[in-house]
Amino acid sequence: MLRFSSSLPVDCRLWRYDIRGSLAHVEMLGAQSIIPTEDANTIAAGLRELEGRLERGELGFAEADDEDIHSFVERELTQKIGPVAGKLHTARSRNDQIALDVRLYLKDALRAAQTEVRALQAALIARADEHFDAILPGYTHLQRAQPVLLSHHLLAYFWMLQRDFERLEECFARADVLPLGAAALAGTTFPIDRQRVAKALGFARVSRNSLDTVADRDHLLESVSALSLVALHLSRLGEELVLWSAPEWGFVRLADRFSTGSSIMPQKRNPDSMELVRGKAARVFGDFSALWSLVKGLPLTYNRDLQEDKEPLFDAFDTVIASLQISRGVIETATFNAEKMRSVAGGGFATATDVADYLVRRGIPFREAHEITGAAVRLCENTNRELWDLTLEEWKELDARFDEGVLESVKVEGSVAGRQSEGGTAPQRVREQLEEARTLLAG
């Protein structure tokens, strides 16, 4: 039963937060004269010594058979300073103690994830700026649709990540609540000063209801939900880089350190880094599902089921932070083949919509313009040509209202430059995006 119920192998990574919370708690106990000041000082000194031993690696968890990190800390402290260590647990329960440890961890983890999001955003901006004028085929249904700037495409991921960053910030605000003081479930009879502890630990506010405080895992669910969206966005980026690196596309070459060979085929160059990023997203989705299922139907307040919340929480953060780091490395070192992208971008009649738009600007209803352009596409298909291969005479044979302007409208560069709507792929609009993105990072 001890082996089955022990959480120490998982929650041992919370030791810094457990000691930090205990220091703030015991200093408050002394200040409030709940325990003698001398005892509070002795306990605080013992906690700091234990922290140093753990920091230096003089003490580990492998041989310990404690039930959890709290029991480990209390046992080691008692061995060092004697029975006075037992006063540390005055006016608190393991229920609000673990809630505190997890919230302290969560605040740090959220900031770490945000830092990696920003780093990947910076890499995307740098590559977008470097390849600002490169033209890429845009796709719908995985079929060539309209040409876009590669910089515009890379910045699409910047804005996905910006939403991720903002969601993580919102999660931080809801994690930034002190739970200590709720005790087991109903509060405590001792005259504790929760505001003092909140200030000492850097919390913005204290929780308002002791029952909710002990039972609440919303902040974990929200955070892992936000992480699952980060993982989803990275998976989409991974999918595109996997496709683009295939010889059939040839748009990008991943650096050697982010590629692997085959065990049997010497010619292979596999984009394993981004395949793993894509695959690890499934783990994060599973972590969220595990947490969601864990909390569903639990009566108030604490139930031992909640011991199982930390493993999916830790795994989600570890996986997403690592995936962000790998994705950044891939983006920073990838080699883009602008010539190949440009050659593909104009194929497949990608500028057909520009022809229709050109006719509309000449006063022709869009539906009629659509039919005329369709006839031009069929002509090209029957003669194995592209739209830019048609002469002005051939355009006029299709419809007398064509003039020399149509020859510009079918060029890839003209198509891109013409998308002047706000948020579009025209160079002027993409420069606006880049400036806004830089401003967000600087802020």
**pLDDT tens sequence across 167-184:** 999 999 999 999 999 999
Q: Is 137 exposed, middle or buried (0-12, 13-18, 19+ CB in 10 A)?
A: buried
Task: Give the ranges where 146-209 is alpha helix by DSSP (H).
Answer: 150-175, 194-201
Instruction: State how beta strands 205-206 and 177-178 pair.
Output: parallel
Instruction: Dump pLDDT digits (tens) for 410-421.
Output: 888 888 988 899
Task: Tell me the C-alpha distance between 80 and 442, whole Å.
Answer: 48
> What is the band of 305 on the pLDDT scale with cuts at 50, 70, 90?
very high
pLDDT at position 4: 92
3-state helix, strand, coil in the chain (%, to 5): 70, 5, 25
Give the pLDDT of residue 8. 96
pLDDT tens digits for range 206-245: 999 999 999 999 999 999 999 999 999 999 999 999 999 9
- What is the rounded average pLDDT for all residues in the chain? 95
Higher pLDDT, 361 or 88: 88
Q: Taking residues 116-144, report their average pLDDT.
A: 96
Contact 227, 284 (CB under 8 A): yes
Residues labelled catalytic = 141, 262
pLDDT bracket for residue 408 (50, 70, 90) = confident
pLDDT higher than threshold 90 for residue 349: no
Query: Does residue 265 carry a pLDDT above 80?
Result: no
Collapse the DSSP code of 210 into the 3-class scheme (helix H, G, I; strand E, B; otherwise coil) and give the result. Answer: helix
Answer yes or no: pTM beyond 0.95. Answer: no
Mean of pLDDT values over 263-279: 86
Per residue in 372-395, is it b (16+ CB within 10 Å) or e — as a string? bbeebeebbeeeeeebbebeeeeb
pLDDT tens track for 319-344:
999 999 999 999 999 999 999 999 89
Whether the per-residue pLDDT at 267 is higher than 70: the answer is no
* Residue 352 pLDDT: 85
Work out the average pLDDT over 46-68: 94
Cis peptide before 391 (omega within 30 of 0): no
Pick the more confident residue, 389 or 258. Answer: 258
Average of per-residue pLDDT across 140-163:
95
Tell me how far apart the alpha carbons of residues 378 and 386 are, in angstroms, rounded to a whole number.
10
Amino acid 33: pLDDT: 98
In 308-360, where do the E strands start and end?
335-336
Given a cut of 80, whether residue 264 has pLDDT beyond it is no
Domains of the chain, with CATH numbers? Answer: 2-90 (1.10.275.10), 102-138+148-180+213-343 (1.20.200.10), 345-432 (1.10.40.30)
The per-residue pLDDT for 296 is: 96
Taking 80 as the threshold, does the pLDDT of residue 133 lie above it? Answer: yes
Tell whether the torsion through CA atoms of 252, 255, 259 and 265 is positive or negative. Answer: positive
Does residue 261 surpass a pLDDT of 80? no
**Once rounded to an integer, what is the mean pLDDT over residues 398-417?**
87
Mean pLDDT of 40-68: 95
Specify the pLDDT at position 418: 86
Distances (CA, A) of 72 to 87, 91, 101, 106: 16, 19, 14, 21
